[in-house]
Structure 1
Amino acid sequence: MNRLTALLLALAATSPALAEEVPATSNDPIPALVAEQYPALESLYQHFHSHPELSLQEESTAARLAKELRGAGFTVTEKVGGHGVVGVLKNGDGPTILVRADMDALPIIEQTGLPYASRVMATDSRRRTVGVMHACGHDLNMTCLVGLANVMHTLKDQWQGTLVCIGQPAEEIGAGAKAMLADGLFDRFPRPNYCLALHCDSRYPAGHVNFRSGQMQSNVDTVDITVFGKGGHGAAPHTTIDPVVLAARIVIDLQTIVSREIDPLDSAVVTVGSIHGGTKHNIIPDDVALQLTVRTTNDATRKQVLASIERIAKAAAVSAQAPEPKVHVDREQYTPALFNDEALTTRTVALFREALGPEKVHERPMSLGGEDFSRFILAGSPGFYYFLGSQPDDKVAAAAAGGPPLSRTHTNAYFPVPEPTIKTGVHTMTLAVLNLLRKKPE
């Protein structure tokens, strides 16, 4: 009996049901298999990093990911829900496991100084020219998916069932999972018994993972407010209704929603991330546009916060004798809260602790970040989503000692250190998948 067979037999039951005992992984051969392909994976990661594409524009990224999955023996379908990629590897009777990686990048000009840094410029959905950067680590998430696909294909004689690897577009705007599901992801392809995903984390050292059972992330809403006024000369403000001043009043008043309307034991965030209006120093414009992100932990609070935003904006306009503002909640970019299945989380985390050591596996508090991976779970497939630490040990230690703070995701200086982050991602995800695609003992 080889080492991998011993490992898989130790993963216990032969059905998708989750066993209670902790499997032994002391003879885990997966790290050696990952090490063999690591040079190619690092090269692939650098390619993804230096060729980022914005949400809904992931055409070249999707084509490269599809090519890699085909090379790993998967049957691949492209253009699912936009630029979505679906790779299917059938290997006899057994459960179906879906593993997702997100593909899109952010409108940020990279300032990492890396030799493979992005220099890409693109036109966004508002027809603005912006820099493009993988500032959230989706380049590494895709690389881990390819590594998983290759290892699982190599080990086909050691498991049975179906593995579905997907490249999801438009995660950053909360639209990709919804679009793929609407295009028949769970109807045209094998419906998963479980869904898994990983994501880079800028707060933990590379080689570590962190998780949370139950609710892990929040509801996310995108709100646009257009404030209307009456334009005119900046030297004669009395002849105008100044939408800049009105917008400023709304920004301040919005802060009272969380501080004065929401239960202090609840959690919510209302952030104005963008405000634009006017063309010149001495011209009072006719309108100002605000862009908001709203985070809530439950549906009742979500309903209350969104209603309060509209009430405050309209009340401010009435006080200034201004036209009624336009308040638009973008339902297409709504992301529901993410809940990890508790039994699946317990079983998978036990594997991680055994493989990595308990000191490298951390339970984390709930986050007000958003993740549309939640839609796959809400569609009826229990899921587990976890984070990969991605920072060098020395930087983490320095930050903990009061030195330079760590670069965070969604900033122009963030990048995941490729090794050991990629190796840890492929290793842990392979363990998680093998735990659910078990081969019957002979």
Structure 2
Amino acid sequence: MGPLYGGRFDKETVADGGQLDLEWLEETYKEFHREPELSTAEERTAERIIRELGYFKDWDVTTGIGGYGITAVLENGEGPTVLFRADFDGLPVAEKTDVDYKSKHSQLDAQGQRVPTMHACGHDHHTMSLLGAMRVLDGTRDRWSGTVVALFQPAEEASIGANGMISDGLGTKIPRPDVCLAQHIIAGPAGRVFTAPGPVMTSSTTIEITLYGRGAHASMPHRSVDPVVLAASTVMKLQTVVSREVPPNQFAVITVASVEAGKANNVIPDSAKISLSCRFYDEALRKKCVDSIKRVVRAEAMSMGAEREPSFKFVGMLGATNNSEEVFTTIRQNFDQAFAAESVDMEPWTASEDFPVLPRAFGAPYMLWTVGITPRWQWDRADKAGRLDIDIPTNHNPMFLPDLKTLPVGVRAAAVGVLSCLQRAWERPEDQADDSTYRPTAPTDQDIDEVAVETAGAD
């Protein structure tokens, strides 16, 4: 597989035979970066993507899937079908960078409050990587055979975008993929590409717990069952689940991310709410810890004399991202050729993703890899000073900003990944061997309860 480079139509720096205009890449990226939109409200972003897709005359474009989801399909002879996903929603974060293309955009959130928005997780970069890879693939059709599905997904940050597209009939709108791919930018040395088989991102379980007490005048605490005290004791007791019930060689995070109780300084409220964000790589351990959380919370309520049991609402559940060994082996050898020393092993990342919902719905193997976007001078200086955790902005930080030089790296990685998978045959399940389309079913209540299929909620 030949090298892939980005250039301003420089005939000596073409992309496997297809020219990649770096000026277009940067300017279009800046457009996306200036005006990020929140999950399920990505109307202008989707319109901008659709406008770019007008460049591709032979791709079959479908819009409005599960909200603002978009697919573009290019059939180019016999061969496997490879799906590549890019997400495009932003976050309610006020950007604090000093670039001239920083976001000054704001938008009404789900509660009707106007909030600043930012591409603090790099979804604008993901979008450009896929659009750029499409140009490479479109211009090199004489060198590969098969079908490519470019999928632009909304609402990843809300953890509902992938399921929304599946539930809206994605399987009837595109050929069934044999393999699914995605990439994500991270804080790391600019241009470095990280890959690994197995679990690379955690599952996510978000739980809202309501603790019920008995309200009273603040001067008469003996007449109450104080949910504020109950919440405080519960928060502290929950810290023992990981420290005392999880084996030291296994990974688990249980974070109490918010505590809400009371509105006045002279009123003991009758309830309190705590919200938990829990992360695991192992599903059996996840279930064990959720059981432990319920036990601890109920026991604390009983110890306070609460007359009503706490309630548990699971508002966000995602499975771990578990890369296929077969897909990893197929792609890594070509990444090593394309990126040389910059193709390295990926350390497991404790964030979570809804991308695996797509390949799991189609019964296809998959892989997600990461690309470092921190300017090298900034990374090296922080590394030398031992201040990587302090000086380097991570995803979701208001200072998170990709080095523009990594845009062609993202395109190159996406194109190499797709081309790698097009060059080999993939075994399909027997019941789908002769089907060009696959019709996945929407998750049942039992699926949701067991987290066998991931759905809903904000991460």
Q: TM-score range by the shorter chain?
A: 0.7 to 0.9
Q: What are structure 2's unaligned runs of at least 5 residues?
A: 4-11, 425-459
CA contact (8 A) 1:213 1:345 kept: yes
1:389-408 to 2 correspondences below 5 Å = 389-402=372-385, 403=387, 405-408=391-394
Aligned to 1:14: none
* Deviation at residue 166 of structure 1 after TM alignment: 0.7
Q: CA deviation at 1:438?
A: 4.5
Counterpart residue number, 2:147: 162
| Correspondence for 1:103 | 88
Q: Which residue, out of 177, 187, 192, partners 2:172?
A: 187
Tell me: CA distance 1:122–1:361, structure 2 relative to 1, closer, same or farther (3 Å). same
Contact 1:233 1:282 in 2 (8 A): yes
Counterpart Cα distance in 2 of 1:122 and 1:288: 29
CA distance in 1, matches of 2:39, 2:268: 34
**Counterparts of 2:270 and 2:38, CA distance in 1:** 31
CA 1:108–1:264 in structure 2 vs 1: closer, same or farther (change >3 Å)? same
SS of 2:21's equivalent?
A: helix
- Kept in 2, the 8 Å contact 1:7–1:28? The answer is no
Go from structure 1 to structure 2 and tell me whether the alpha carbon gap of 1:264 and 1:383 turns closer, same or farther (over 3 Å shift): same
Correspondence 1:253 to 2:237 = yes
**Alpha-carbon RMSD:** 2.3
- Equivalent in 304, 318, 337 of residue 335 of structure 1: 318
Give the CA deviation at 1:127. 4.0
1:12-161 correspondence runs (5 A): 29-30=14-15, 33=18, 36-73=20-57, 74-161=59-146
Structure 2 contact 327–421 (Cα < 8 Å) conserved: no
Which letter maps to 2:256?
V
The letter for the 2-side match of 1:263 is P
Distance 1:111 1:282, change over 3 A: farther
Picking from 176, 191, 194, the partner of 1:207 is 191
Aligned to 1:383: 366
Match of 1:293 in 2: 277
Per the normalisation by structure 1, the TM-score is 0.87
Q: Taking structure 1 as reference, are residues 32 and 417 closer, same or farther at Cα in structure 2, changes over 3 Å only?
A: farther
Residue 67 of structure 1, CA deviation? 2.0
Mapped contact 1:69–1:149 kept (Cα < 8 A) = no
* Structure 2 contact 16–136 (Cα < 8 Å) conserved: no
SS of 2:241's equivalent in the other structure is helix
2:60 aligned partner, one-letter code: T
User: How much has 1:31 moved relative to structure 2?
Assistant: 7.4
| Counterpart for residue 360 of structure 1 | 342
Q: Work out the CA distance in 2 between the residues paired with 1:284 and 1:120.
A: 40
Deviation string, structure 1 residues 272-305 (Cα, Å, up to 9, x no partner): 1222222233333332222211112222111111
Does the aligned pair in 2 maintain the 1:31–1:423 contact within 8 Å? no
Contact 1:100 1:167 in 2 (8 A): yes
Cα 1:150–1:93 shift into 2, 3 Å: same
- Indicate the residue corresponding to 1:15 in structure 2: none
Aligned to 2:457: none
Q: Show the 5 A alignment for 1:166-315.
A: 166-202=151-187, 204-315=188-299
TM-score, length basis structure 2: 0.84
Query: 1:139: Cα distance to partner?
Result: 0.9
Q: 1:414 aligns with which of 396, 400, 412?
A: 400
- More divergent stretch after superposition (75-84 vs 429-438): 429-438
Unpaired segments of 5 or more residues in structure 1? Answer: 1-5, 9-26
Verify the 8 A CA contact 2:18 2:140 in the aligned structure 1. no
Count of aligned pairs: 411
How far does residue 234 in structure 1 lie from its aligned partner after superposition? 3.1
Indicate the larger mover: 306-315 or 251-260. 306-315
Q: Percent identity?
A: 37
Q: CA deviation at 1:83?
A: 1.6
